[in-house]
Amino acid sequence: MRSNNQKLSGADIFFECLRREKVEYIFGYPGGAVLKLYERLYDVDFLKHILVRHEQGATHMAEGYAKATGKVGVVLVTSGPGATNTVTGIADAYMDSVPIVVFTGQVPSHLIGNDAFQEADIVGITRPITKHNFLVRDIKELASIIRKAFYIASTGRPGPVLVDLPKDVVNSVCEFSYPEKVEIRGYKPTLYGHQNQIKKAADIIKKAKKPLLYVGGGVIMSGGERELRLFAKENKFPVTMTLQGLGAYPMNEDLSLGMLGMHGTYWANQAVNNCDVLVSLGARFDDRVTGKIEAFALNAYKIHVDIDPTCIDKNVVVDLPIVGDVKHVLAELAAEINEPPKIDEWWKQIQRWREECPLKYEKNDGKLRSEFVIEKLSEKTKGEAVIVTDVGQHQMWVAQYYKFTNPRSHLTSGGLGTMGFSVPAAIGAAFAIKDRPVISISGDGGFQMNMQELATAVYNKLPIKFIIINNSFLGMVRQWQELFHAEKYSFTDLSASNPNFVKLGEAFGMKSFSTNNPFDVDDILDEAFAVNDGPILIEFKVVKEDMVFPIIPSGQTIKEMMTKRLDPKEMV
């Protein structure tokens, strides 16, 4: 380790800072403006650089790594196109509060603003999609900016931070001094909730007859799953989770009602609709969860725990806000509630809803369906795998049918809904997760958005199972076209243009499988899970026209929930 006050080049300072931040992996792509950094990287042995095939892939890998571990994901790319290619991944990380730090090269300071070769104002471009960003204007600031970048990305409500590094700054020399402590006077996240508010919340919860815990990704990010499990179990509270919250509470246990919202279970949505106390934990009342805002949990007393004050009262006005780290608040709440409220009647009601409208799909016509594949996966992996999904129908089916038992196991692009997320994010996760299978599930559309990264997976011998749920359609868009857009299937049919996925997988050097027969699924999965020296690819050719049910149409209420495809006869 380099000592303080030594004279170092910008590149040396850069890597020394990364060493002190305990960075294990950098996902990157070299180019003109970062050549000096790559020159030094050649001899760096304390971290591993992963060469990606496209910079968007790098940001999603960093996200996958960060979501799976809770550590900060790191990206290094060049200026101009290298930087702009990271934008989608950064926006994705911003929406889902993923801690990543993106280092972009920049043209030399004196050329900034001159339309120099490979120049882009990336700090300007990413201002609205980063938690914060920096342009390093002087090498004296470099070490402290990197320290701040990691601190800001990983504390409070996590998020992406971008650091723009002009070429001349990296090339110059300066005395190295790494700040021991970070002091940012405008940034002090509130960790502990207000005592009176917590007491008040506990009093309300104690008296609840129909309580419900509404759990978001914040619980997982704060590492509060243990507190949640204790809190829910001791009091027998029903738990419903958002897309990002899945796995915070084991979904194979009775207290879990599964996911709520647009494609949530009937009983979870009924519970939200009828509860008298709604405790929101690290969730943000997203429109995909609430549907019609005015009707959401209409009669409930709403308690909202969140570390980000802007989330409170943004969409739904709540009765009792608690700003703080949900892990700490949960622990304190649990301590305040010494006697579990009597809610047996409530549970009976929930049970009736469960029986009234269970999740179901056609099993007896001999055709392959994605729900079946996902149920099989859930059984085979006992709900313990890390599942990285893309965006669309398969994503919702995973949320409904895969019974996640652990936090940080369901990695998906929720807020931004980025197609092409799954393949690179699974690669990022696979670098960190060695003890459980990492499974990437994509549709045939999204898979083709970042499939270049298969090369990265093959080169690094990552034992990822790349699963393609191929219905030859942009299925979710098709579903909306059928339901809400006069059945005009405008540009959603991919059947004439899809590649041969097996040959594609083989071209990348992967063992590849394909089937459209439900009776083959078991054998193929067994064979796939036996491969551990590299990635494999499985294409499941499923029924084309299946739709995700239940669905609450956008901006509506549970009254408008559709649970099955309307029979033409019924429509008359």
Partner 1 sequence: MKHTISVLVENQFGTFNRVVTMFSGKGFNVHSLSIGETEVPDISRMTIVTSGDDKIIEQVVKQLNRLIDTLKVVDLTGQPKIERELALITVYYQKGTRTEIVNVANIFRGKVVDINNKSITLEITGPPDKIDAAVNVLEPYGIKEMARSGTVALKRGEQIKHDKKDILVNHIKEGTK
Is there binding between residue 308 and partner 1 (CB under 8 A)?
yes
Q: How many residues bind partner 1 (CB under 8 A)?
A: 20
Q: Is 241 a catalytic residue?
A: no
Q: How does strand 173-175 pair with strand 7-9?
A: antiparallel
CB under 8 Å to 455, separation ≥6 — which residues? 53, 508
DSSP annotation of 400? H
Q: Checking DSSP bridges between strand 239-241 and strand 256-259, what pairing results, if any?
A: parallel
Rule CB under 8 A: say whether 123 interacts with partner 1: yes
| 233 binding partner 1? (CB under 8 A) | no
Residue among 16, 21, 55, 332 flagged as catalytic: 55
Q: Looking at 281-289, 310-318, 442-450, 466-474, which segment touches partner 1 (CB under 8 A)?
A: 310-318
In the list 2, 53, 137, 206, the residue contacting partner 1 (rule: CB under 8 A) is 137
Of the pair 312, 467, the CB lying nearest partner 1 is at 312
User: How far is 252 from 403, CA to CA, in rounded Å?
Assistant: 6
CB nearer partner 1, residue 186 or residue 366 = 186
**Interface with partner 1 includes 403 (CB under 8 A)?**
no
From the candidates 476, 513, 540, 541, give the one annotated as an active-site residue: 476
Binder among 81, 113, 179, 309 for partner 1 (CB under 8 A) = 309
Give me Rg for the CA atoms of the chain. Answer: 24
In the bound complex, what is the minimum distance in angstroms from residue 155's beta carbon to partner 1? 11
With CB under 8 A as the contact rule, the residue among 67, 71, 132, 304 that binds partner 1 is 132
Q: Cα 348 vs. chain centroid, distance in angstroms?
A: 34
Instruction: Give the binding range for partner 1 (CB under 8 A) out of 83-91, 178-186, 230-238, 547-555.
Output: 178-186
Nearest residue (CB) to partner 1, 128 versus 568: 128
Q: Binding marks (x or -) toward partner 1, 31..50, rule CB under 8 A? A: --------------------
Q: Which of 24, 118, 336, 529 is catalytic?
A: 118
Measuring CA to CA, which residue among 252, 210, 206 is closest to residue 231?
A: 206
Q: Is 270 a catalytic residue?
A: no
Pairing label, strands 132-135, 73-77:
unpaired
Strands (E), 78-159: 100-106, 132-135
Residue 252: phi, psi to the nearest 5? -90, 0
183 part of the active site: no
Instruction: Using CB under 8 A, pick the residue from 7, 181, 185, 569 that binds partner 1.
Output: 185
Nearest distance in Å: CB 321, partner 1: 11
Q: List the catalytic residue out of 167, 210, 302, 403.
A: 167
Specify the DSSP class assigned to residue 2: P
Q: Considering only residues 465 through 524, tell me which ones interact with partner 1, judged by CB under 8 A.
A: none
Q: How buried is residue 414: exposed, middle or buried, by Cβ count under 10 Å (0-12/13-18/19+)?
A: buried
128 binds partner 1 (CB under 8 A): yes
Closest Cα to residue 272, out of 286, 247, 289? Answer: 289
Confirm or reject binding of residue 317 to partner 1 (CB under 8 A): yes
Q: Is 466 helix (H, G, I), strand (E, B) or coil?
A: strand
Instruction: Name residue 337's amino acid.
Output: I
Question: Judged by CB under 8 A, does residue 124 bind partner 1?
Answer: yes
- Local structure of 98: helix, strand or coil: coil
As measured in angstroms, the least distance from the Cβ of 271 to partner 1 is: 27
Which of 124/555 has CB closer to partner 1?
A: 124
- Quote the crossing angle between the two packed helices 326-336 and 225-235, to the nearest 10°: 30
DSSP for 484-528 reads HSTT--TT-B-TTT---HHHHHHHTT-EEEEE--GGGHHHHHHHH
Residue 293 CB, nearest approach to partner 1 (Å): 12
67/47 Cα distance (integer angstroms): 19
What sign for the dihedral angle of Cα 275, 277, 282, 287?
Answer: positive
Residue number with CB closer to partner 1 (233 or 314): 314
Check residue 310 for interaction with partner 1 (CB under 8 A).
Answer: yes
Instruction: Identify any residues that bridge with 161 across adjacent strands, giving them in sequence order.
Output: 101, 132
Tokens of 474: 């942009």
Among 127, 226, 352, 363, binds partner 1 (CB under 8 A): 127
Nearest to partner 1 of 164, 453 (CB atom): 164
- What single-letter amino acid sits at 504? L
- Among candidate residues 48, 117, 484, 503, the one labeled active-site is 117
Cα–Cα distance between 17 and 21 in angstroms, integer? 6
Q: Which stretch binds partner 1 (CB under 8 A): 21-29, 183-191, 481-489, 499-507?
A: 183-191
Q: How far apart are the first and last CA of the chain?
A: 76
Per rule CB under 8 A, is residue 313 in the interface with partner 1? yes
Residue closer to partner 1 (CB basis): 127 or 485: 127
- Please identify which residue in 33, 135, 510, 525 interacts with partner 1, judged by CB under 8 A: 135
How far is 124 from 12, CA to CA, in rounded Å? 27
117 has catalytic annotation: yes
Query: Is-catalytic flag, 167?
Result: yes
Peptide bond into 550 cis (omega under 30): yes
- Cα distance between residue 313 and residue 350, in whole Å: 28
Q: Does 186 bind partner 1 (CB under 8 A)?
A: yes
Stretch that binds partner 1, among 95-103, 122-130, 258-266, 488-496 (CB under 8 A): 122-130
Q: Does 163 bind partner 1 (CB under 8 A)?
A: no
Among 49, 54, 71, 131, the residue binding partner 1 under the rule CB under 8 A is: 131
Which residues are identified as catalytic? 55, 117-118, 167, 476
Residues in contact with partner 1 by CB under 8 A are 123-124, 127-128, 131-132, 135, 137, 152, 184-187, 308-310, 312-314, 317
